[in-house]
Amino acid sequence: MGIKRLLTRLGWGGATVETVLRDEAVVPGGTIHGRIDIDGGEVDQRIDRLTTGLVVRLQDYSDVEFRRVEAGAAFRVAGGDTVTREFTMDVPWDMPVTVHRGQPLKGMDVGVNTQLHIAAAVDPGDFDPIAIAPLPAQAAVLDALAQMGFDFYSAVVKHGRIADAHAGAGTDRQRSPLFQEIKFYPPSGSRSPLDKLDVTFATDAEATDVILRAETFDGVMADAVKTSTAFTVAHGDATAPDWPALVGGWLATLPARRA
Protein backbone atom coordinates (compact mmCIF):
# COMPACT_ATOMS: atom_id res chain seq x y z
CA MET A 1 0.00 0.00 0.00
CA GLY A 2 2.91 2.35 0.70
CA ILE A 3 4.12 2.03 -2.90
CA LYS A 4 0.61 2.76 -4.22
CA ARG A 5 0.35 5.90 -2.10
CA LEU A 6 3.75 7.09 -3.31
CA LEU A 7 2.76 6.56 -6.95
CA THR A 8 -0.54 8.34 -6.32
CA ARG A 9 1.30 11.40 -5.05
CA LEU A 10 3.34 11.38 -8.25
CA GLY A 11 0.18 11.28 -10.39
CA TRP A 12 -0.28 7.54 -11.07
CA GLY A 13 -3.42 5.79 -9.90
CA GLY A 14 -4.83 8.84 -8.13
CA ALA A 15 -8.23 10.50 -8.33
CA THR A 16 -9.23 11.96 -11.70
CA VAL A 17 -11.65 14.74 -12.45
CA GLU A 18 -14.02 15.38 -15.36
CA THR A 19 -16.17 18.47 -15.83
CA VAL A 20 -19.47 18.23 -17.70
CA LEU A 21 -20.88 21.58 -18.85
CA ARG A 22 -24.65 21.84 -19.29
CA ASP A 23 -24.49 24.95 -21.51
CA GLU A 24 -23.39 24.79 -25.15
CA ALA A 25 -22.84 28.55 -25.04
CA VAL A 26 -23.26 31.39 -22.58
CA VAL A 27 -23.24 35.17 -22.93
CA PRO A 28 -21.36 37.82 -20.96
CA GLY A 29 -23.27 38.43 -17.75
CA GLY A 30 -24.80 34.94 -17.90
CA THR A 31 -24.26 31.82 -15.78
CA ILE A 32 -22.40 28.57 -16.43
CA HIS A 33 -23.97 25.39 -15.04
CA GLY A 34 -22.00 22.20 -14.72
CA ARG A 35 -21.19 18.97 -12.95
CA ILE A 36 -17.84 17.71 -11.70
CA ASP A 37 -17.23 13.96 -11.47
CA ILE A 38 -14.31 12.86 -9.28
CA ASP A 39 -13.34 9.23 -9.84
CA GLY A 40 -11.33 7.66 -7.03
CA GLY A 41 -8.04 6.05 -7.90
CA GLU A 42 -6.37 3.01 -6.41
CA VAL A 43 -6.26 4.41 -2.88
CA ASP A 44 -8.50 6.59 -0.71
CA GLN A 45 -7.66 10.30 -1.01
CA ARG A 46 -8.65 13.45 0.80
CA ILE A 47 -9.64 16.34 -1.47
CA ASP A 48 -8.79 19.56 0.36
CA ARG A 49 -10.61 21.86 -2.07
CA LEU A 50 -12.42 21.66 -5.38
CA THR A 51 -12.39 24.82 -7.49
CA THR A 52 -13.34 25.79 -11.00
CA GLY A 53 -12.22 28.84 -12.95
CA LEU A 54 -13.05 30.65 -16.15
CA VAL A 55 -9.91 31.21 -18.17
CA VAL A 56 -8.79 32.60 -21.52
CA ARG A 57 -6.00 30.62 -23.14
CA LEU A 58 -3.57 32.90 -24.96
CA GLN A 59 -1.54 32.17 -28.07
CA ASP A 60 1.42 30.94 -26.00
CA TYR A 61 -0.98 28.50 -24.24
CA SER A 62 -0.73 30.35 -20.95
CA ASP A 63 -4.02 30.83 -19.11
CA VAL A 64 -5.37 34.15 -17.87
CA GLU A 65 -8.00 33.63 -15.23
CA PHE A 66 -11.12 35.78 -15.17
CA ARG A 67 -12.82 34.08 -12.24
CA ARG A 68 -12.44 31.13 -9.86
CA VAL A 69 -15.08 29.77 -7.48
CA GLU A 70 -15.24 27.10 -4.81
CA ALA A 71 -17.08 24.03 -6.09
CA GLY A 72 -16.78 21.83 -3.00
CA ALA A 73 -15.47 21.78 0.55
CA ALA A 74 -13.01 19.18 1.82
CA PHE A 75 -14.10 15.56 1.40
CA ARG A 76 -12.70 12.06 0.93
CA VAL A 77 -13.06 9.92 -2.18
CA ALA A 78 -12.56 6.19 -1.74
CA GLY A 79 -10.58 4.21 -4.25
CA GLY A 80 -12.85 3.13 -7.09
CA ASP A 81 -15.77 5.36 -6.00
CA THR A 82 -17.20 8.39 -7.82
CA VAL A 83 -18.17 11.66 -6.15
CA THR A 84 -20.23 14.27 -8.02
CA ARG A 85 -20.51 17.98 -7.29
CA GLU A 86 -22.78 20.48 -9.07
CA PHE A 87 -21.61 24.06 -9.62
CA THR A 88 -22.64 27.38 -11.10
CA MET A 89 -20.37 30.26 -12.08
CA ASP A 90 -21.30 33.78 -13.13
CA VAL A 91 -19.73 34.97 -16.37
CA PRO A 92 -18.15 38.45 -16.14
CA TRP A 93 -19.68 41.10 -18.38
CA ASP A 94 -16.34 41.77 -20.04
CA MET A 95 -15.64 38.20 -21.20
CA PRO A 96 -14.30 38.03 -24.76
CA VAL A 97 -16.68 36.73 -27.41
CA THR A 98 -15.59 33.42 -28.96
CA VAL A 99 -18.35 32.62 -31.48
CA HIS A 100 -20.54 34.52 -33.96
CA ARG A 101 -23.42 32.98 -35.86
CA GLY A 102 -22.39 29.63 -34.42
CA GLN A 103 -18.88 29.87 -35.90
CA PRO A 104 -15.78 30.07 -33.69
CA LEU A 105 -13.69 33.23 -33.87
CA LYS A 106 -10.15 32.26 -34.83
CA GLY A 107 -7.70 32.98 -32.03
CA MET A 108 -10.18 32.59 -29.14
CA ASP A 109 -9.94 29.75 -26.63
CA VAL A 110 -12.00 30.11 -23.46
CA GLY A 111 -12.71 27.30 -21.04
CA VAL A 112 -13.59 26.11 -17.57
CA ASN A 113 -10.55 24.89 -15.64
CA THR A 114 -11.35 22.55 -12.73
CA GLN A 115 -8.73 21.78 -10.09
CA LEU A 116 -8.57 19.15 -7.36
CA HIS A 117 -6.47 20.53 -4.51
CA ILE A 118 -4.79 17.49 -2.93
CA ALA A 119 -2.01 17.91 -0.38
CA ALA A 120 1.38 16.57 -1.50
CA ALA A 121 0.00 15.19 -4.76
CA VAL A 122 -0.09 16.14 -8.45
CA ASP A 123 -3.27 18.09 -9.23
CA PRO A 124 -5.27 16.24 -11.93
CA GLY A 125 -6.91 19.32 -13.43
CA ASP A 126 -9.39 19.46 -16.29
CA PHE A 127 -9.90 22.10 -19.03
CA ASP A 128 -13.20 22.18 -20.95
CA PRO A 129 -13.78 24.71 -23.75
CA ILE A 130 -16.96 26.78 -23.60
CA ALA A 131 -18.41 29.14 -26.20
CA ILE A 132 -19.07 32.77 -25.27
CA ALA A 133 -21.80 34.08 -27.58
CA PRO A 134 -22.28 37.81 -28.19
CA LEU A 135 -24.95 39.84 -26.43
CA PRO A 136 -27.67 41.27 -28.71
CA ALA A 137 -25.88 44.61 -29.12
CA GLN A 138 -22.58 42.88 -29.84
CA ALA A 139 -24.21 40.51 -32.32
CA ALA A 140 -25.89 43.46 -34.06
CA VAL A 141 -22.50 45.10 -34.63
CA LEU A 142 -20.90 41.92 -35.96
CA ASP A 143 -23.95 41.24 -38.15
CA ALA A 144 -23.78 44.76 -39.56
CA LEU A 145 -20.11 44.41 -40.46
CA ALA A 146 -20.82 41.11 -42.20
CA GLN A 147 -23.72 42.77 -44.05
CA MET A 148 -21.37 45.55 -45.16
CA GLY A 149 -18.92 43.02 -46.57
CA PHE A 150 -16.22 43.13 -43.89
CA ASP A 151 -14.17 39.92 -43.62
CA PHE A 152 -13.29 38.63 -40.15
CA TYR A 153 -9.74 37.30 -39.96
CA SER A 154 -8.77 36.97 -36.29
CA ALA A 155 -9.43 37.94 -32.70
CA VAL A 156 -6.94 38.56 -29.90
CA VAL A 157 -7.04 39.32 -26.19
CA LYS A 158 -4.59 41.95 -24.97
CA HIS A 159 -3.38 43.17 -21.61
CA GLY A 160 -3.94 46.84 -20.86
CA ARG A 161 -6.53 49.58 -20.83
CA ILE A 162 -8.84 50.19 -23.76
CA ALA A 163 -8.46 53.93 -23.34
CA ASP A 164 -4.69 53.65 -23.82
CA ALA A 165 -4.96 51.54 -26.96
CA HIS A 166 -7.81 53.49 -28.54
CA ALA A 167 -6.97 57.16 -28.23
CA GLY A 168 -10.03 59.38 -28.36
CA ALA A 169 -12.46 56.54 -27.63
CA GLY A 170 -12.09 55.89 -23.92
CA THR A 171 -14.54 53.93 -21.80
CA ASP A 172 -15.09 53.55 -18.08
CA ARG A 173 -16.84 50.17 -18.39
CA GLN A 174 -13.67 48.06 -18.48
CA ARG A 175 -13.27 46.05 -15.26
CA SER A 176 -10.60 43.46 -16.15
CA PRO A 177 -6.97 44.12 -17.14
CA LEU A 178 -7.68 42.49 -20.52
CA PHE A 179 -9.62 43.50 -23.60
CA GLN A 180 -10.50 41.84 -26.89
CA GLU A 181 -9.96 43.07 -30.43
CA ILE A 182 -11.96 41.44 -33.24
CA LYS A 183 -10.19 42.19 -36.50
CA PHE A 184 -11.66 42.67 -39.96
CA TYR A 185 -10.45 43.43 -43.45
CA PRO A 186 -12.50 46.03 -45.39
CA PRO A 187 -14.95 44.94 -48.08
CA SER A 188 -13.32 43.72 -51.26
CA GLY A 189 -13.10 46.52 -53.81
CA SER A 190 -13.80 49.21 -51.21
CA ARG A 191 -12.59 52.71 -52.14
CA SER A 192 -12.21 53.66 -48.47
CA PRO A 193 -8.69 54.43 -47.18
CA LEU A 194 -9.34 51.80 -44.52
CA ASP A 195 -6.91 48.86 -44.39
CA LYS A 196 -8.07 47.16 -41.18
CA LEU A 197 -10.88 47.57 -38.67
CA ASP A 198 -10.69 46.46 -35.03
CA VAL A 199 -13.81 46.08 -32.88
CA THR A 200 -13.66 46.12 -29.07
CA PHE A 201 -16.57 45.70 -26.66
CA ALA A 202 -16.56 47.19 -23.16
CA THR A 203 -19.60 45.88 -21.32
CA ASP A 204 -21.17 46.17 -17.89
CA ALA A 205 -24.64 45.47 -16.50
CA GLU A 206 -26.14 48.60 -18.09
CA ALA A 207 -24.74 48.86 -21.59
CA THR A 208 -22.05 48.01 -24.12
CA ASP A 209 -19.55 50.52 -25.45
CA VAL A 210 -18.57 49.62 -29.01
CA ILE A 211 -15.09 50.90 -29.83
CA LEU A 212 -14.03 50.90 -33.47
CA ARG A 213 -10.46 51.50 -34.60
CA ALA A 214 -9.53 52.03 -38.22
CA GLU A 215 -5.99 51.47 -39.44
CA THR A 216 -4.79 53.08 -42.64
CA PHE A 217 -1.37 52.81 -44.22
CA ASP A 218 -0.19 55.84 -46.15
CA GLY A 219 2.64 54.32 -48.16
CA VAL A 220 4.52 51.03 -47.91
CA MET A 221 7.11 52.19 -45.37
CA ALA A 222 4.81 54.41 -43.32
CA ASP A 223 3.45 53.54 -39.90
CA ALA A 224 -0.27 52.83 -39.63
CA VAL A 225 -2.53 55.77 -38.84
CA LYS A 226 -5.01 54.65 -36.16
CA THR A 227 -8.30 56.45 -35.64
CA SER A 228 -10.92 55.41 -33.06
CA THR A 229 -14.52 56.17 -32.24
CA ALA A 230 -17.07 54.76 -29.80
CA PHE A 231 -20.83 54.20 -29.61
CA THR A 232 -22.94 53.11 -26.63
CA VAL A 233 -26.05 50.93 -26.63
CA ALA A 234 -28.03 49.99 -23.52
CA HIS A 235 -28.97 46.33 -23.06
CA GLY A 236 -32.64 47.24 -22.70
CA ASP A 237 -32.75 49.70 -25.61
CA ALA A 238 -35.76 48.67 -27.68
CA THR A 239 -34.63 50.65 -30.75
CA ALA A 240 -31.39 49.13 -32.00
CA PRO A 241 -29.05 51.57 -33.75
CA ASP A 242 -28.70 51.42 -37.51
CA TRP A 243 -25.20 50.02 -37.26
CA PRO A 244 -24.42 49.95 -40.99
CA ALA A 245 -25.31 53.65 -41.15
CA LEU A 246 -23.30 54.49 -38.02
CA VAL A 247 -20.23 52.55 -39.10
CA GLY A 248 -20.47 53.69 -42.72
CA GLY A 249 -20.90 57.32 -41.67
CA TRP A 250 -17.87 57.20 -39.41
CA LEU A 251 -15.70 55.48 -42.02
CA ALA A 252 -16.67 58.18 -44.49
CA THR A 253 -15.01 60.76 -42.20
CA LEU A 254 -11.61 59.08 -42.36
CA PRO A 255 -9.03 61.14 -44.20
CA ALA A 256 -8.47 60.11 -47.77
CA ARG A 257 -5.24 58.39 -48.65
CA ARG A 258 -2.69 60.73 -50.15
CA ALA A 259 -1.84 60.23 -53.81
- Give pLDDT, residue 77: 82
Element (H, E) at 247: helix 243-252
- Give pLDDT, residue 8: 37
- Give pLDDT, residue 254: 75
d(CA 65, CA 54) in angstroms, rounded, equals: 6
- Give pLDDT, residue 220: 55
Q: For the domain made up of 15-132, give the CATH fold.
A: Immunoglobulin-like (2.60.40)
Helix, strand, coil percentages for the chain (3-state, nearest 5): 15, 45, 40
- Give pLDDT, residue 216: 81
Q: Which residues of 176-213 are buried (b: 16+ CB within 10 A; e: fewer)?
A: bebbbbbbbebeeeeebbbbbbbbbbbbbeebbbbbbb
The pTM is what?
0.84
- Give pLDDT, residue 119: 65
d(CA 244, CA 250) in angstroms, rounded, equals: 10
- Give pLDDT, residue 219: 58
198 in helix, strand or coil?
strand
- Give pLDDT, residue 85: 87
Averages of pLDDT over each 10 residues, the chain, 259 residues: 35 68 92 89 76 84 86 78 89 94 91 80 70 92 91 91 80 88 87 84 92 78 75 77 85 66
Q: Which of 124, 133, 114 is nearest to 34 (CA)?
A: 114
